[in-house]
Structures are given as structure tokens and as C-alpha cells.
């Protein structure tokens, strides 16, 4: 732990605060105690000195006031005063008795006996002598030793109002201050010991408080990493214990919430990953924040590489919108991603993401491939247009001829039969068209059941060709190229006859005079390949794939002239595919067209659809 982190620890802070509070308390108590103790000791010392001074003053005044004779045995004043002073002793108090002429009569200090008889000019002594006769009590500092002194100059009286001298006392107070210093040293040592003991106790107390907090901190770090398996120990029923219980309850709730969120996230991720539609999420500026794999495939971008890009740029919307906020009003649009090689259309549906205050925080774009859907829609529109056009042409013709008959043409025996003939042909043509449409409609609705049976195809095909040869125009030749042997297929003869009739009839219609139609069957391993080739005008390469579409005609004028509905090959394609085969065409302009289709062969174990 570094120095900064060490002092940020709540345990260290608690110990420091605890010790600082203790130091402040000790400082306040020590200051008060020292001040009061010093005052008490000084006052006690002064009181003791004053009592002794009062006793000496009484004895000395009695000595000054006593009458003395002239006998030899009589004790003199000086002797009596010296005797009184000698009883005091030298100790820590220096005592001098000074008469009214300012001369020293006696002193208790042996070293200062030479001062006896000398005159004293001390200011304090002079103030205590008449005429001022003031009592002087003062603390002062010795200039040489720096000791604290208590000085008393006490006037002495023979009788009331008559001064006899001065009692001058200098008491050294250093013993008092030495005693006070010793007491302070003891107090300091006790304080240090108390601080050490208190710091140790503070560490223990701080650990009891911070240990649960440290455990909660470690648990919070585990929870931040998604680990909710651990619990915090509860050490008591105090506030920290309640906090630990609350923390454990929070852990359980977060674990449940995290599990729920994680489950929902997995569901959402699974939904997004398995959606066929693409989903793109952006923020309120239009920058992409999320894209699923389906969206990446649709727009040919790696979802991880596209994060942070603008939706307008990725979806090529520069020509359609200027600002991302315009998506709120657009709702849905078709976006063309087509290239020269391939047509590709995408539908984009836009929705907004709002917060609790109805502020837009982002956009959700759902994209889907609608190329086939648009193609189907376009085919539906073309189909409706074609049906309308195909029905309108015969109806217009019939109406014209009927109007002519109504106008009197029915009376003409030469014209009337021809007009009626045309009307009947157009009616038959419309009936064939409607029947073909109904047949296709039933096929689309899966309502066109097949009655399949085991069929030997080569002999069956010979029968179909024989039927055509009986009614074939003289300028057309049918050439057979059929294998020998039996080739069994499982088919509906009526439906397959319709297929062959449509294909062979088209070949006859488009064959020129003297043309040959080649009918061929080849056997492969699992299927038969049937081909019908004419020598007609052929079909352009870019139109070849469309001849199986409904109402499509390579040569519309000639087809109508020959009475075709444009649905024959479309029906043939549907019927071949329900027989599990395939149909296609090959052609070159001016060299004819070949229609191919396949049918699966039966094997010994195969029974077909029953």
C-alpha cells in the first residue's frame, strides 16, 4: 500500500482521530491541572512563609518592645534578636533584621554574617521603613541564578505607631517549581503511557469497526466483477451489523437481478443472432452501437467493423435524408443496393428509442431483403395487366363483330357466318385461357391432386406421338429418337399428356414448312431426359429463361395469331415439377428451340407416391 493509500484508510483515520482527541483531552486536562497545581503550590508556599513571617514579626516586636536594665547579666537587644533569628535556620529562606537606621542587626545566613552592622540601601527595605512603613510582598527573579524568589519586607514596631525596623526575607521558590516540574514529568510519562495504551485499544476498536467495512469493500469488488456467491460476516447487532445484513440482502437482490438481466440478454442475443431480419441500433447522433449478423450479411459489412459508423453512410441514405432526426417521420423505406450483376432491394423500418422524459436516445433500424417480394409484387402487377390485356383483346374483337351483326350484317349470308365464326373462336380462346388460369390457381393452392400410376414411358410416349401424327400438317415431320426397353416412371398420365401436348403443339405452331420436330428420350442412371426440338425461329438468349413465366410471349403478335394463351409452358413447368422433375429450354435465334424435361425413374424398391 502506498503512502497516500495508507492515510486514506478509514482504520488509520479512525486511530489518528482517536489519538488526536485523546491528545486534546490530555492537553486540556494537563494545562488545567498544571495551572491549578502551580497556583495551589505557590499559594501554599507563600502562606507557609507568611505564617513564619508573622510569628517572627511577633517575637521580634516583643524583643524590640522589652525594657532593658544596665546590669551585666542583662541580654542586649541585638543578642536577643540574633537568638530569635538563629532559631529559624538557614534553609531555603534568607532572613535579615534591619533597624530603623537601615543597618543589619541579624541574619540567619552564615555566609552573610559579614553584613551585620552594615547599612542596607535596598529600595524595598527603604519602603518598609518610616515614614512609608509599607509591607512589601513580591515575586521576583534572581538575575544571576534565574531562580524565582519571594521577597517580603515587613515593618517592625516597638509599640503601636513607633517603628523599630524591618524584617527582610528572601525565600527561594525553586523547590516549589522543581516539585511542579517533577509532577509534570510524571504527568507527561503517564500521558505517553495512556496514549500508547489508547492507541493499542484504538487499533483494536478500529479493527472491530473497519473489519466488516473492509469485508464489504472486498465483496463490493467481487460484485463489480459479477461474483455474487460470497456473503459478508455479521459480527453483531449494532449499526454495522445491520449494514452487513442489508449488504447481504442487496447482494441477493443484485444476484437475482443480474441473473434476470443476463437471461434476458442471452435471449435478446439469441433472438438477434437467429433473426432473419437485420437489426441496427444507433445512438441519438446516428452512430451505430449494435448490429446483428443478419444485418451484416444484408449490407455486406462485418458488424464488428461497422460500430461507430454513421447509419446514413452505411445505409446509403445521403440522397433521401439530410439529418438523422428525419428517420422519426420516414417510418419505412425501400433502399436499392442493386448492382449491374444483381438486383438487391432492402426494406428498412425505423423506430425511435426514448427515455423516461420522452427524449430520443437512439434509433432502431430493422432491415429485410425484399428483392423476391418486390419481384413477386411486380409479377403480380404484370400478371393482372396481362390477364386484363389478354381478355380485353378477344372481348374487343367479339364486341366489334357483334356490333356489326346488330347493325345488319347478320342478314348477309356470306359475312354473318364468318363473323359468328370469329366470335366463337375468340370465345373458345377465352374459355381456354380461363381454364388454364383455374388450373394454375389450383396448382398454386395445392388443390390439384395427381392420380399417379406405374407407367412404361417409351410406349406411352409413342402413343402421344401417334395421336399427333394423325392430325399433323403435311409440311411438318415428327422424328422419333426413342430407346428400346422398358423405362418405368410414376406419373399422372392425364397431367403428363397435357405437358407433352403443350410442348409438341408449340413446336408444331412455330415450325416452318418442311420442318422436322425431333422427339427424343434418353435414359440416365436415375431419371429420363425428354427433349422436343423444333426448327422454328428460335428465342433470343436474354428471353429464354422467361418463356416459362405466365403470359410471357417471345413473339406476341405471332402467338396471338396462332391462338396461344401464353400459359401453356407455365402449366407444363408446374406439372413437371410436381412429378419431381425439372424443365428448361435451349434455343438459338433462327435455328429452333429445344425443350427439355426430366422424370425420375422407378427402381425395384420404389413404390412412388400413393
Q: What is the DSSP string of 396-441?
A: HHHHHHHHHHHTTGGG-TTHHHHHHHHHHHHHHHHHHHHHHHHHHH
pTM of the model: 0.42
Each residue's pLDDT tens digit, 499-554: 898 899 888 888 888 788 999 999 888 899 999 999 888 888 777 877 887 766 65
What average pLDDT does range 473-497 have in this prediction? 87
Name the CATH superfamily housing domain 275-369: PAS domain (3.30.450.20)
Query: What is d(CA 206, CA 14) in angstroms, rounded to the nearest whole number?
Result: 6
What average pLDDT does range 558-582 have in this prediction? 73
Lowest mean pLDDT, pick from 248-257, 283-292, 418-427: 418-427
C-alpha cell at 300: 455486406
Each residue's pLDDT tens digit, 157-200: 887 767 778 888 888 888 888 888 888 888 888 888 888 888 88
Each residue's pLDDT tens digit, 3-25: 444 455 676 777 788 788 888 88
3-state secondary structure string across 98-162: EECCCEEEEECCHHHHHHCCCECCCHHHHHHCCCCCCCEEEEEECCCCCCEEEEEEEEEEEECCE
C-alpha cell at 56: 517572627
C-alpha cell at 428: 373458345
Query: What is d(CA 19, CA 224) in angstroms, rounded to the nearest whole number?
Result: 35
Query: Where are the chain's structural domains?
Result: 11-179, 227-274, 275-369, 375-444, 453-600
pLDDT value of residue 91: 67
pLDDT value of residue 328: 67
Task: For the sheet with 148-159, list strands across it.
Answer: 104-107, 93-99, 162-172, 148-159, 136-141
* Confidence bin at 89 (pLDDT 50/70/90): low
pLDDT value of residue 385: 64
Each residue's pLDDT tens digit, 300-330: 888 888 888 888 888 878 777 777 777 766 6
What average pLDDT does range 47-70 have in this prediction? 80
Cβ contacts of 211 within 8 Å, gap of 6 or more: 235
pLDDT at 258 > cutoff 70: yes
pLDDT value of residue 561: 46
Query: What is d(CA 561, CA 559) in angstroms, rounded to the nearest whole number?
Result: 5
pLDDT at 607 > cutoff 60: no
H helices of 320-413, in order, are: 327-330, 371-406
pLDDT value of residue 605: 45
- Which stretch, 317-326, 440-449, 589-598, has highest mean pLDDT? 589-598
pLDDT value of residue 567: 74
- Whether domain 11-179 has CATH 3.30.450.20: the reply is yes
C-alpha cell at 55: 510569628
pLDDT at 597 > cutoff 90: yes
* Confidence bin at 71 (pLDDT 50/70/90): low
pLDDT value of residue 543: 78
At the topology level of CATH, where does 375-444 sit?
Helix Hairpins (1.10.287)
pLDDT value of residue 528: 93
Burial 552-590 (b: 16+ CB within 10 A, else e): bbbeeeebbeeebbbbbbbbbbbbbebbebebebebeee
Q: Is residue 570 within 8 Å of 546, Cβ to Cβ?
A: no
pLDDT value of residue 181: 86
pLDDT at 382 > cutoff 70: no
At the topology level of CATH, where does 453-600 sit?
Heat Shock Protein 90 (3.30.565)
Residue 528, classified by CB atoms within 10 Å of its CB into exposed (0-12), middle (13-18) or buried (19+), is buried
What average pLDDT does range 548-577 have in this prediction? 67
pLDDT at 452 > cutoff 60: yes
Cα torsion through 335, 340, 344, 346, rounded to 10? -10
Q: Is residue 525 within 8 Å of 591, Cβ to Cβ?
A: no
Output DSSP code: residue 264: H
Residue 559 or residue 247, greater confidence: 247
Q: Which of 540, 479, 474 lies closest to 504, judged by CA? A: 479
Mean pLDDT of the chain: 80
pLDDT at 351 > cutoff 80: yes
- Which stretch, 240-244, 433-437, 502-506, has highest mean pLDDT? 502-506
Each residue's pLDDT tens digit, 268-306: 778 777 777 888 888 888 888 888 888 888 888 888 888
Lowest mean pLDDT, pick from 42-51, 166-175, 321-330, 558-567: 558-567
* Confidence bin at 448 (pLDDT 50/70/90): low
606 backbone dihedrals φ, ψ, rounded to 5°: -85, 135
pLDDT at 348 > cutoff 80: yes
Amino acid at each position: 500500500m502506498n503512502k497516500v493509500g495508507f492515510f486514506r484508510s478509514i482504520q488509520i483515520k479512525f486511530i489518528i482521530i482517536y489519538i488526536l482527541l485523546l491528545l486534546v483531552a490530555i492537553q486540556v486536562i494537563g494545562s488545567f491541572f498544571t495551572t491549578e497545581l502551580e497556583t495551589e503550590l505557590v499559594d501554599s508556599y507563600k502562606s507557609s512563609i507568611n505564617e513564619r513571617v508573622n510569628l517572627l514579626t511577633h517575637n521580634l516586636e516583643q524583643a524590640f518592645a522589652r525594657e532593658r536594665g544596665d546590669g551585666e547579666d542583662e541580654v542586649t537587644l541585638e543578642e536577643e534578636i540574633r537568638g530569635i533569628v538563629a532559631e529559624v535556620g538557614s534553609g531555603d529562606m534568607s532572613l535579615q533584621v534591619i533597624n530603623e537606621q537601615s543597618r543589619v542587626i541579624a541574619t540567619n545566613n552564615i555566609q552573610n554574617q559579614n553584613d551585620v552592622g552594615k547599612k542596607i540601601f535596598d529600595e524595598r527595605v527603604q519602603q518598609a521603613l518610616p515614614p512609608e512603613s509599607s509591607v512589601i510582598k513580591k515575586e521576583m527573579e534572581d538575575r544571576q541564578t534565574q531562580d524565582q524568589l519571594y521577597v517580603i519586607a515587613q515593618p517592625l514596631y516597638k509599640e503601636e505607631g513607633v517603628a523599630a525596623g524591618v524584617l527582610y526575607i528572601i525565600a527561594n521558590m525553586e523547590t516549589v517549581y522543581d516539585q511542579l516540574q517533577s509532577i509534570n514529568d510524571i504527568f507527561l510519562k503517564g500521558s505517553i503511557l495512556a496514549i500508547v495504551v489508547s492507541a493499542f485499544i484504538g487499533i483494536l476498536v478500529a479493527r472491530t469497526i473497519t473489519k466488516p467495512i473492509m469485508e464489504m469493500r472486498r465483496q463490493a469488488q467481487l460484485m463489480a466483477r459479477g461474483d455474487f456467491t460470497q456473503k459478508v460476516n455479521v459480527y453483531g447487532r449494532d449499526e454495522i451489523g445491520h449494514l452487513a445484513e442489508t449488504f447481504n440482502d442487496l447482494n441477493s437482490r443484485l444476484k437475482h437481478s443480474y441473473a434476470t438481466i443476463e437471461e434476458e440478454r442471452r435471449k435478446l442475443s439469441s433472438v438477434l443472432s437467429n433473426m432473419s431480419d437485420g437489426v441496427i441500433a444507433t445512438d441519438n447522433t446516428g452512430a451505430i452501437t449494435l448490429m446483428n449478423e443478419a444485418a451484416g450479411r444484408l449490407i455486406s459489412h462485418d458488424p464488428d467493423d461497422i460500430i461507430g459508423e454513421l447509419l446514413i453512410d452505411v445505409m446509403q441514405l445521403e440522397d433521401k435524408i439530410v439529418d438523422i432526426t428525419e428517420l422519426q417521420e420516414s417510418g419505412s423505406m425501400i433502399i436499392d443496393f442493386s448492382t449491374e450483376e444483381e438486383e438487391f432491394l432492402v426494406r428498412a423500418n425505423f423506430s425511435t428509442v426514448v427515455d423516461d422524459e420522452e427524449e430520443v436516445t437512439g434509433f432502431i433500424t430493422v432491415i429485410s431483403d425484399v428483392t423476391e417480394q418486390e419481384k413477386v409484387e411486380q409479377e403480380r402487377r404484370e400478371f393482372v395487366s396481362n390477364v386484363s390485356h389478354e381478355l380485353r383483346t378477344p372481348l374487343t374483337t367479339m364486341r366489334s363483330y357483334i356490333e356489326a351483326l346488330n347493325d345488319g350484317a347478320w342478314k348477309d349470308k356470306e359475312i354473318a357466318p364468318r363473323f359468328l365464326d370469329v366470335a366463337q373462336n375468340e370465345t373458345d380462346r377465352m374459355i381456354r385461357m380461363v381454364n388454364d388460369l383455374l388450373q394454375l390457381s389450383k396448382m398454386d393452392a395445392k388443390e390439384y391432386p395427381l392420380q399417379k400410376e406405374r407407367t412404361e414411358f417409351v410406349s406411352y410416349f409413342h402413343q402421344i406421338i401417334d395421336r399427333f401424327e394423325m392430325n399433323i400438317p403435311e409440311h411438318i415431320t415428327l422424328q422419333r429418337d426413342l430407346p428400346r426397353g422398358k423405362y418405368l416412371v410414376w406419373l399422372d398420365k392425364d397431367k403428363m399428356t397435357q405437358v407433352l401436348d403443350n410442348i409438341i403443339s408449340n413446336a408444331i405452331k412455330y415450325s416452318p414448312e418442311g420442318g422436322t420436330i425431333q422427339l427424343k428420350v434418353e435414359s440416365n442412371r436415375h431419371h429420363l431426359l425428354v427433349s422436343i426440338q423444333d426448327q422454328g425461329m428460335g428465342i433470343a438468349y436474354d428471353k429464354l429463361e422467361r418463356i416459362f413465366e405466365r403470359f410471357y410471349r417471345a413473339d406476341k403478335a405471332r402467338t396471338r395469331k396462332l391462338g396461344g394463351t401464353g400459359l401453356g409452358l407455365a402449366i407444363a413447368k408446374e406439372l413437371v415439377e410436381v412429378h419431381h422433375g425439372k424443365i428448361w429450354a435451349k434455343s438459338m435465334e433462327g435455328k429452333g428451340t429445344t425443350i427439355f424435361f426430366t422424370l425420375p425413374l422407378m427402381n425395384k424398391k420404389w413404390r412412388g407416391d400413393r
